[in-house]
Amino acid sequence: MKKDLLTLNDINIDELEQIFTLAEKLKKERGKSNYFPLSGKSVGMIFAKSSTRTRVSFEVGIRELGGNPLYLNSASMQVGRGETIADTAKVLSRYLHGVVIRTFSHSDVETLAKEATFPVINALTDEYHPCQILADMMTVKEHSKKPLNEIKMVFAGDGSSNICNSLMLASKLTGMNLVVAAPEEYRPCENILNSAPKVTWEKDIMKAAENADYLYTDVYVSMGFEDESKERLAILKPYQVNKAVMNQAKPEAKFLHCLPAHRGEEVSADVMDSPASIVFDQAENRLHVQKAVLSLLFENFYK
């Protein structure tokens, strides 16, 4: 394992398998194990954006592994008043054993990781959300009879989002077939698309959804993009995952969403609340998969 997990490009397929194996074990043994790989370790959790799932699952996960989590709202740190990321990294390196960070610019996370002497985990930037997609892949594995490289997933909506970028990297890693149903204005990042042989871009959502095993969507207005709300809601409206879209997919197809969801926007309420929806399994698996990531990164770094 590398020192940090900033994007899914930081892990290979063997490491992904290791993460899933450990996550499944930790899920089964939750509350019963004597496994405390973070014992005596303090982990900072720097958040510059809102969070429910990520904050709670990391905080609980770090504690369950024997570590000490410190929630740090970046607005109340000196970094919010102009102290550089590099200086912050050097100072925190004298106190902490690792950092989980959610912020806007991905390059800030890269700077932090470069300057810090501890492992850094990306808990969402404008560009990537690797921990979410690891939990999603674990969830898909649990619900599938086929291996990941035989699955067809459709991501509908904002193809330029952190979720879509990370899903494309997941396809590159696992060989999963991914069709991104998105309009020209929010098309998938060309560089990532070109690097991922099993990802295609399709503007017509009904065509994209044909024969899909999984339909995935995300909010139309990501955190930090609130100024663009009006045009995003208008342009992305035809990409809603609703019953008509689900009917194009396989009869046993499942619905995925990283959450939080906006019923009536990117997903209709009937799909969100249908038996096909496995969104809360995804949310639960954040805890297990992140515990596995923390354990493997720390065991490797502090051996």
* Cα–Cα dist 93/95, whole Å: 5
Residue tagged active-site, from 10, 53, 106, 132 = 132
Binding segment for ligand NVA (CB under 6 A), chosen from 76-84, 137-145, 158-166, 179-187, is 158-166
Residue tagged active-site, from 129, 232, 257, 288 = 129
Residue tagged active-site, from 97, 213, 258, 288 = 258
Indicate which of ligand NVA, ligand CP, none lies near residue 176 (CB less than 5 to 8 Å, by partner kind).
Answer: none
Q: In what order do the strands lie in the sheet with 254-257?
A: 199-202, 177-181, 152-156, 214-217, 254-257
* 8 A C-beta contact, residue 32 and residue 38: no
Give the one residue of 7, 54, 103, 240 binding ligand CP; rule: CB under 6 A.
54
Indicate which of ligand CP, ligand NVA, none lies near residue 52 (CB less than 5 to 8 Å, by partner kind).
Answer: ligand CP
Give the one residue of 223, 233, 235, 276 binding ligand NVA; rule: CB under 6 A.
223
Give the one residue of 132, 161, 165, 166 binding ligand CP; rule: CB under 6 A.
132
* Cα–Cα dist 251/51, whole Å: 34
Q: At its nearest, how many Å lie between ligand CP and the CB of residue 158?
A: 14
Q: For this structure, is 94 an active site residue? A: no
Q: For this structure, is 164 an active site residue? A: no
* 8 A C-beta contact, residue 82 and residue 130: no
Point out the residue whose Cβ comes nearest to ligand NVA.
Answer: 222
Place of tokens 């300057």: 115
Give the one residue of 45, 85, 109, 163 binding ligand NVA; rule: CB under 6 A.
163
* Cα–Cα dist 297/2, whole Å: 7
* Cα–Cα dist 1/296, whole Å: 7
- Candidates 11, 8, 71, 19; CA nearest to 43 is 71
Give the type of residue at 186: Y
- Cβ atoms within 10 Å of 19's Cβ, excluding its own: 25
SS3 277: strand
Neighbouring-strand partners of residue 188: none
Q: At its nearest, how many Å lie between ligand NVA and the CB of residue 61?
A: 17
51 binds ligand CP (CB under 6 A): yes
Q: Please list every residue from 96 through 125 that binds ligand CP, using CB under 6 A.
A: 124
Site residues (CB under 6 A) for ligand NVA?
Answer: 124, 161-163, 218-219, 222-223, 258
By CB under 6 A, name the binding residues for ligand CP.
51-54, 124, 132, 258-259
